[in-house]
Amino acid sequence: MARLSAKVRREEFIIAAARVIATTGVSGATTRKIAAEAGAPLAALHYCFESKEALFQALYEEQIKTMGESTWTIKPGIGVAETAAAMVPQLMEWYEQEPDYAQASGDLMFWSHHNDRALAELGVNAALEVMRETLRKGVSGPEERKLVEPLATLVLALTDGLLLQWLTFKDTQLRDKGVAAAMRALRCFAN
């Protein structure tokens, strides 16, 4: 059996944590279950992560990094409102393509709010920063810069709500109606 580097092993544990959380929820995501899902010894998980909370933080960070790198295709300078509107369906599509990450994201959001406030703040702040960066790409003039912050907050609120709705109902038509309404609202915001 080939020995895996700590970096590769960490990535496997993060993927396994998303799968386990998606299946059992955060409270059911024990280190034993995560190690078993990764096909690795429990000791290897504890070598890579000092605690289950550190693994959850790494999962949050990986989700946000992946979201920032691969989710949005934004045409530079199209306007901040149009950028915000474009972000919503693209993020919801990513959640649909990555159902384990989507479920884990929702579960971690609520779990960390009640159990690890620092982790909750880290997740929200990191997501907001990715959204700000993406919105800045679409800014078409100096007057739009002031809209980046409120639109980042609004996009996060809308997509978190749409994610919860999607996880609850798994209804594509309902999701698409919500996405369309969110896009209309975001386009009106800047006018």
pLDDT tens digits, one per residue of 66-103: 888 877 888 999 999 999 999 999 999 999 998 998 99
Tell me: pLDDT of 52 over 80: yes
Q: Which amino acid would we find at residue 92? A: M
Whole-angstrom Cα distance, residue 26 to residue 4? 26
Q: Angle 62-65-75 (CA atoms, 0-180°, nearest 5)? A: 155
pLDDT in tens, 24-35: 999 999 999 999
For the chain, domains (ranges, CATH) are 56-189 (1.10.357)
pTM across the whole model: 0.89
- What count of Cα atoms within 13 Å lies in the side-chain half-sphere of residue 24? 15
Model pLDDT for residues 111-121, shown as the tens digit of each residue: 999 999 999 99
* Whole-angstrom distance, CA of residue 191 vs CA of residue 187: 7
